[in-house]
Chain A
Amino acid sequence: MFKLLSTSLIISLTLTLSAAETTAPKPKPKLWSLQPLTRPTVPQGLTKSDNPIDAFLAAKHKENGVTPVGPADKLTLLRRLSFDLVGLPPTPAEQDAFLADNSPDAYEKLIDRLLANEQHGVRWARHWLDVLRYADLDGLDGSVMPAAPGIHNWRDWMISALNQDLSFDKFVRAQLLGNRNSGRVLTSTGGRRSRGAANPQDQFALGFLARGAITNSNKDQNLAFAAVETISTAFMGMTVACAQCHDHRFDPITQADYYGMKSLFDPLVLRTVPLASAADIQANGDAMEAYRSKSEPLDDAIEKLTAPFHKKLFDERVSLLPPDVQAIVNKPENKRTVAEQKIFDDYYPVLRIDDGKMKEIMPKDVIAEFDALNKKRRALKRPLSLPVNVVVEEDRLKLNEPSYILTSGDPMRPEKDKPVKPSFPFKPEDVDFRDGRREGFVDWLTAKENTLFARVAINRIWGWHFGEAIHKSTSDFGMLGGRPSNQPLLDYLASEFVAHGYSMKWLHRLILTSDAYKMSSASADKSANYDADPNNTYLWHFRLKRLEAEPLWDSILSSAGNLDLTVGGRSFQAVTPDSKQSIFLPADGTFESRKNRRGIYMARGYIPSTEVMSNFLQTFDVDDGRTPCPMRAQTITAPQALYTMNGELVERASIALSEKLAKESGDDVKTAVDLAYRKALGRKPTAGELDRTLTYLGKDQANLKGLGWLLYNLDEFLFVK
């Protein structure tokens, strides 16, 4: 259970490698993941199950001498499925209904019901958002994430897309192009129709690319770099980012491939789109005008008052500068060359005159007037800005600028002798870039001939269902990633995924109806299996899974009846941000005030100067979205124990649960215990448990609060069997 690391870490040493090492062309090794995808034949006669998954697994079981354990009981399956598909524990009513349904397809109906629940998208979006680096805030060294004000729209788009079972190719296409429709059709006369119009909501999917931009001093920094790294890891399973500084040392990816791929995104710029209605825009504009009509006269008065003092100090400082710089500073702005303006800007810290400095040379009466004006100015409240969404679009000028290799990583230092053309790793000869650079790439990426796309996708989905993927390094299908434990199964699922139109819900159904998924997680007394396969690589029992942070949060609140299940909207902050850092934080109104929403809505991200991630998220292994997180770590630590032993969340939930229990049990303690177990663990207590719990409760109803505490601290609460 060692912390799973982003495979991008692998590139660390590249920084010290020189470009000289990168020139020799490499023979392309035979990487398994680049071999064409063909549908393997389903092994016959090895299992009673008619699900092909079980047949492929059975072949490996036989080969490795392990015997799969039997199925889990009905309530275990219900809880497993509920957490897996909607991230919530099953309610007592759902337990009753499932137990009562004795029809042969009760289990299949349950899957359908959960897949149709809108909370399914909420659960599964979190998986993909981990891989695609969702963050509410990001920035280094005073830089900010320009997309922050509307970034939750991307998350909400994804939730909706997953709920609608948007096919995986369109799911990816929309996030790369802002348009799920490919729509290119050859007409009978040999002509060519251009792409179909985008569905309006797909602009929100562009939050994925916009999120990558980190702006510092108005320089667009790493949108394109972030796009290459995230897209290649997430959808190609390749650590293309290694080639940022040199040709990939292990995989057939060159530095030219990297910068060719980067050039797909080089022309992108951010555009801020207002999301308000016409009436709101009008009203906000009017309010702004009213504000200006008051603020501008005050600004003018302040400027007039300070002008002589400003000039005196400014002239003094200019006189200290070297003569050539003085000449530049004294030129009118419109007469300065670009280079001269840069020099002028460089001297800004010297030439900036602070209020404090001016006050030092002001007479007393002027200071009083100055202070009075400033007080009035500060009293004016600027109207709140309207909601906006940030998208990316191609800039026509940038589209015509050539792209270069940037070994240094610094956009200001392109290697002009090394221009690159739009390209990408493994690009075939005949990619059609006529509709656009990204369009050409996405057509290739999502094509059924791409050997990586479906394999990487189904492997991730499998991993999220089972806790470990068929190919364990879900983000590295390269030379260092090892080999899949069951490639025929991987290839079968990948080719069927393509054949079924990339339907993720189809894939979920196939996986979830396998005997493998229904196996018990108990592994005791199976020493022969342990000897043969101690790590359960060939899946002879279901893997016990620790709940991730969000389902744990949801589970505590939900069993206490306190969870707000609203889908969509702004994130809430579980940490109170340091007000000193307000310049790096988004404006008022960016965050949600309700704090009992589902865990996916808890703000996350990385700012070096202030904590964004709550203690809860950090304690339970949530990454900050700076690098793609393929699988969550599942640590077990003492701070986690402290959190559930003494934390406020558990305290509040225990009280809420005890009140509910008292009400719903009609003050019958036995009924209360029964209900509590069903709410928290999805099953009734055993006779022994009931006995032990009743002993604890005694005659004191006040102990019902302690009952909640007990349940939230049980190992079984934190784990999915």
Chain B
Amino acid sequence: MTMGTPNKIYPCGRINRRQMMFGMANGFLGSAVGGLWAADGRIPGALLAGTPRAKSVIYLFLCGGMSHIDTFDPKDNKHAGKLMDAIGFGDNNAPMKRPVIPILRTFKNYGKSGIPVSDWFPNIGGVIDDFAVVRSMYCHQTNHFPAVIEHATGKPLRQFEHPCLGSWATYALGSANKNLPAYINIGRPSSPVQLTGGYLGSAYSATPFQAGSTPIPDLMPQKDSDAKERDRRMETLHELNKQFRDEYAAEAAITGRLKAYELAANMMMTAPAVVDFANEPQHVKDMYGIGEKPTDDFGKQLLLARRLSENGVRFIQICHAGGGNGSWDAHGDMKAHEPLCRAIDKPIAGLIADLKQRGMLESTLVVLTSEFGRTPWSQNTTGRDHNGKGFTTLLAGGGVKGGIIEGSTDEVGYKALESPHYISDLQATILQQMGLNHKKMDFPYNGRTFHLIEEGTGPIQNILA
């Protein structure tokens, strides 16, 4: 929906005049209105030459820590049952001996690439040739909240209000759609930090969206209001504001109010259409597993993500099984992964196939990750502990080479061994594909400069086409 289109919620002539005024005002309001819907990026120096490979990013985050060795990084079970030197979980960093527990999954080599995928992800196996499987990710933190925060902000500690990756990216690039937020989160995260704009300002925080009729707070008018009455109100409001706005025409805040209402009205018109799946054909819904009980929720979220991506939303983050530690946190029994895998397997494969059939995969970067992986050993259960020293992240589309494996973990899957990549490398990769120089993601304030990327080796070049 472009700015000139007549507004269906408030289809009065005033709106068009106001849209024109908005067009004139655009450019100098900047942060007074908030980057949420700002058109221009705010770190022009970070823009890379050429056309960015990824117009948008769909960032799938599995809350709690998906086990890499039970999914995409198989190990033989020759060490199963043996005690190994382990590091305790949480803030208990004492070394101790713990028993390695067997991997109970069967793996099959899929596609032309023959990349092994476990029986929990048969559908993802079907599209594995589109994925780069990075098996050598690592982070520093070993417990959920710190690791989630590290993952989101690229900093192992949160002494300051560091913004998350999506905020940085949209701060730097601005919005491609003036009717929708540039950075949207779907699903409950592990931590609000995964949404925060931090010192970039709350306007750069993720806007929480949900599938369903009210994607964002207060988007829809109160139930009993009718469109005609709303239109009358908006028209009257505009006239009653006139004297005050004339008197304070020199104030950026007042010009900003005009724009804020304009954008709010546009949102009210645009967003419901984006979340309305009525026009999606049944076969597309089927690809995402919509209508099947285990996959319905996540399928709808991914279909919504595709639709947001089509509408120019730059960064769409989807948090799966969040709230608290996250349901992927399988300490007690690895079997807890099974229903979670089933819930996401078909929708993810469907998303890849759908993007591909629309010719969107080339310009849409899909990332699948957790805050960390899981240990080869257990705490004397049939589940696994947290493991930040080695885990797997998958990337597809947006200029990423499919069907390749990057790096490795050791023979039990504990530590990243070959080509280790700190989580900042994942961030740098995403930024580069979005057309941003990861080394220039800086925010100056009071004579000092904050950097998003402070560690690691930069974009993961081996997986880039």
- Of the candidates B222, B240, B445, B454, which one forms a contact with A692 in the assembled complex, judged by CB atoms under 8 Å apart? B240
Report Cα–Cα, A209/B160, bound state, in Å: 20
Comparing B108-116, B141-149, B283-291, B355-363, the segment that makes contact with chain A is B141-149
Q: Is B126 an interface residue, CB under 8 A from the partner?
A: no
Closest B residue, CB atoms, query A545: B253
- Of the candidates A2, A523, A611, which one forms a contact with B192 in the assembled complex, judged by CB atoms under 8 Å apart? A611
The residues of B that contact A356 with a CB separation of less than 8 Å are: 332
Given A9-B445, A523-B250, A642-B267, 10 further pairs, Cβ under 8 A: A13-B448, A140-B158, A321-B96, A523-B248, A546-B253, A636-B259, A637-B34, A638-B34, A642-B218, A716-B244
Residues of A that sit less than 8 Å from B by CB: 1-3, 5-13, 15-16, 140-142, 216-217, 250, 317, 320-322, 325, 342-343, 345-350, 354, 356-357, 473, 476, 480, 521-524, 530, 544, 546, 578, 580-581, 608-611, 615, 618-619, 621, 626-627, 633-643, 645-648, 651, 686, 688-689, 692-693, 695-696, 706, 709-710, 713-716, 718-719
Check if B96 sits within 8 Å of A325, measured CB to CB: yes
The residues of A that contact B92 with a CB separation of less than 8 Å are: 345-346, 348-349
Report Cα–Cα, A354/B83, bound state, in Å: 21
B98-157 interface (Cβ within 8 A of A): 98-99, 143-146, 148-149, 157
Check if A346 sits within 8 Å of B88, measured CB to CB: yes
Check if B252 sits within 8 Å of A643, measured CB to CB: no
Check if A642 sits within 8 Å of B217, measured CB to CB: yes
- Of the candidates B99, B244, B268, which one forms a contact with A715 in the assembled complex, judged by CB atoms under 8 Å apart? B244
Check if B240 sits within 8 Å of A3, measured CB to CB: no
Report Cα–Cα, A648/B324, bound state, in Å: 28
Check if A642 sits within 8 Å of B445, measured CB to CB: no
Most buried by B among A15, A580, A636: A636
- Of the candidates B161, B201, B217, which one forms a contact with A2 in the assembled complex, judged by CB atoms under 8 Å apart? B201
- Of the candidates A15, A647, A710, which one forms a contact with B237 in the assembled complex, judged by CB atoms under 8 Å apart? A710
Report Cα–Cα, A12/B161, bound state, in Å: 10
Report Cα–Cα, A546/B33, bound state, in Å: 13
Report Cα–Cα, A639/B144, bound state, in Å: 30
Question: Given A522-B248, A692-B240 in contact, is the A637-B97 Cβ separation under 8 Å?
Answer: no
Q: Smallest Cβ distance from A524 to chain B, in angstroms?
A: 6
- Can you give 25 contacting A-B residue pairs, CB < 8 Å? A2-B31, A5-B161, A9-B448, A217-B91, A325-B97, A350-B96, A350-B98, A476-B446, A522-B247, A522-B248, A523-B248, A544-B254, A610-B323, A633-B202, A635-B32, A635-B34, A636-B34, A639-B264, A641-B263, A642-B217, A647-B217, A647-B218, A695-B236, A710-B236, A719-B253
Question: Given A12-B450, A321-B97 in contact, is the A645-B221 Cβ separation under 8 Å?
Answer: yes
The residues of B that contact A716 with a CB separation of less than 8 Å are: 241, 244
Report Cα–Cα, A706/B143, bound state, in Å: 51
Check if B191 sits within 8 Å of A641, measured CB to CB: no
Closest A residue, CB atoms, query B449: A13
Check if B240 sits within 8 Å of A693, measured CB to CB: yes
The residues of B that contact A714 with a CB separation of less than 8 Å are: 237, 240-241, 244
Interface mask (B234-277 → A, CB under 8 Å = 1, otherwise 0):
00110111011111111111101101110110011000000000
Q: Smallest Cβ distance from B208 to chain A, in angstroms?
A: 9
Check if A1 sits within 8 Å of B91, measured CB to CB: no
Q: Smallest Cβ distance from A151 to chain B, in angstroms?
A: 21
The residues of B that contact A633 with a CB separation of less than 8 Å are: 201-202
Check if A638 sits within 8 Å of B249, measured CB to CB: no
Q: Smallest Cβ distance from B132 to chain A, in angstroms?
A: 30
The residues of A that contact B30 with a CB separation of less than 8 Å are: 2
Check if B143 sits within 8 Å of A141, measured CB to CB: yes
Check if B232 sits within 8 Å of A696, measured CB to CB: yes
Q: Is B280 an interface residue, CB under 8 A from the partner?
A: no
Report Cα–Cα, A715/B260, bound state, in Å: 11
The residues of B that contact A141 with a CB separation of less than 8 Å are: 143-146
B168-223 interface (Cβ within 8 A of A): 190-193, 199, 201-203, 205, 207, 216-222
Q: Smallest Cβ distance from A297 to chain B, in angstroms?
A: 30
Q: Which 3 A-B pairs have the closest CB atoms?
A: A346-B94, A636-B256, A641-B264
The residues of B that contact A524 with a CB separation of less than 8 Å are: 246-250
The residues of B that contact A718 with a CB separation of less than 8 Å are: 257
The residues of A that contact B335 with a CB separation of less than 8 Å are: none
Size bracket, chain B contacts: 35 or more
Q: Smallest Cβ distance from A217 to chain B, in angstroms?
A: 6
Most buried by A among B160, B191, B450: B160
Q: Is B379 an interface residue, CB under 8 A from the partner?
A: yes
Check if B240 sits within 8 Å of A706, measured CB to CB: no
Closest B residue, CB atoms, query A534: B250
Check if A9 sits within 8 Å of B161, measured CB to CB: yes
Question: Given A140-B158, A346-B88 in contact, is the A638-B264 Cβ separation under 8 Å?
Answer: yes
Q: Is B36 an interface residue, CB under 8 A from the partner?
A: yes
Closest A residue, CB atoms, query B258: A715
Q: Smallest Cβ distance from A648 to chain B, in angstroms?
A: 8
Question: Given A636-B33, A710-B240, A715-B241 in contact, is the A343-B94 Cβ separation under 8 Å?
Answer: yes
- Of the candidates A5, A480, A637, A640, which one forms a contact with B447 in the assembled complex, judged by CB atoms under 8 Å apart? A480
Q: Smallest Cβ distance from B239 to chain A, in angstroms?
A: 5
The residues of B that contact A521 with a CB separation of less than 8 Å are: 248
Q: Is B37 an interface residue, CB under 8 A from the partner?
A: yes
Q: Is B229 an interface residue, CB under 8 A from the partner?
A: yes
Report Cα–Cα, A52/B271, bound state, in Å: 56
The residues of B that contact A544 with a CB separation of less than 8 Å are: 248, 251, 253-254
B364-419 interface (Cβ within 8 A of A): 379-381
The residues of A that contact B237 with a CB separation of less than 8 Å are: 710, 713-714
Q: Is B159 an interface residue, CB under 8 A from the partner?
A: yes
Closest B residue, CB atoms, query A541: B250
Report Cα–Cα, A349/B93, bound state, in Å: 12
Check if B201 sits within 8 Å of A140, measured CB to CB: no
Question: Given A325-B96, A615-B217 in contact, is the A16-B32 Cβ separation under 8 Å?
Answer: no
The residues of B that contact A615 with a CB separation of less than 8 Å are: 217
Closest A residue, CB atoms, query B98: A350
Check if B160 sits within 8 Å of A642, measured CB to CB: no
Check if A635 sits within 8 Å of B240, measured CB to CB: no
Question: Given A343-B94, A609-B191 in contact, is the A9-B250 Cβ separation under 8 Å?
Answer: no
Check if B380 sits within 8 Å of A317, measured CB to CB: yes
Closest A residue, CB atoms, query B33: A636
Most buried by B among A345, A350, A530, A648: A350
Interface mask (B76-99 → A, CB under 8 Å = 1, otherwise 0):
000000010000111110101111
- Of the candidates B34, B252, B380, which one forms a contact with A320 in the assembled complex, judged by CB atoms under 8 Å apart? B380
Check if A15 sits within 8 Å of B253, measured CB to CB: no
Question: Given A9-B199, A635-B31, A693-B240 in contact, is the A642-B149 Cβ separation under 8 Å?
Answer: no
- Of the candidates A346, A581, A638, A696, which one forms a contact with B37 in the assembled complex, judged by CB atoms under 8 Å apart? A638
Q: Is B14 an interface residue, CB under 8 A from the partner?
A: no
Most buried by B among A140, A343, A635: A635
The residues of B that contact A349 with a CB separation of less than 8 Å are: 88-90, 92, 379
Check if A350 sits within 8 Å of B380, measured CB to CB: yes
Check if B159 sits within 8 Å of A15, measured CB to CB: yes
The residues of B that contact A706 with a CB separation of less than 8 Å are: 229, 232-233
Closest A residue, CB atoms, query B37: A638
Check if A1 sits within 8 Å of B160, measured CB to CB: no
Q: Smallest Cβ distance from A137 to chain B, in angstroms?
A: 13
- Of the candidates A5, A342, A350, A643, which one forms a contact with B218 in the assembled complex, judged by CB atoms under 8 Å apart? A643
The residues of B that contact A619 with a CB separation of less than 8 Å are: 202
Q: Smallest Cβ distance from B253 to chain A, in angstroms?
A: 5
Q: Smallest Cβ distance from B108 to chain A, in angstroms?
A: 32
Check if A3 sits within 8 Å of B201, measured CB to CB: yes
Report Cα–Cα, A141/B390, bound state, in Å: 21
Check if B199 sits within 8 Å of A5, measured CB to CB: yes
The residues of A that contact B325 with a CB separation of less than 8 Å are: 609
Report Cα–Cα, A709/B379, bound state, in Å: 59
Check if A480 sits within 8 Å of B219, measured CB to CB: no
Report Cα–Cα, A448/B264, bound state, in Å: 52
Check if A8 sits within 8 Å of B160, measured CB to CB: yes
The residues of B that contact A142 with a CB separation of less than 8 Å are: 143, 145
Closest A residue, CB atoms, query B235: A696
Report Cα–Cα, A696/B239, bound state, in Å: 11
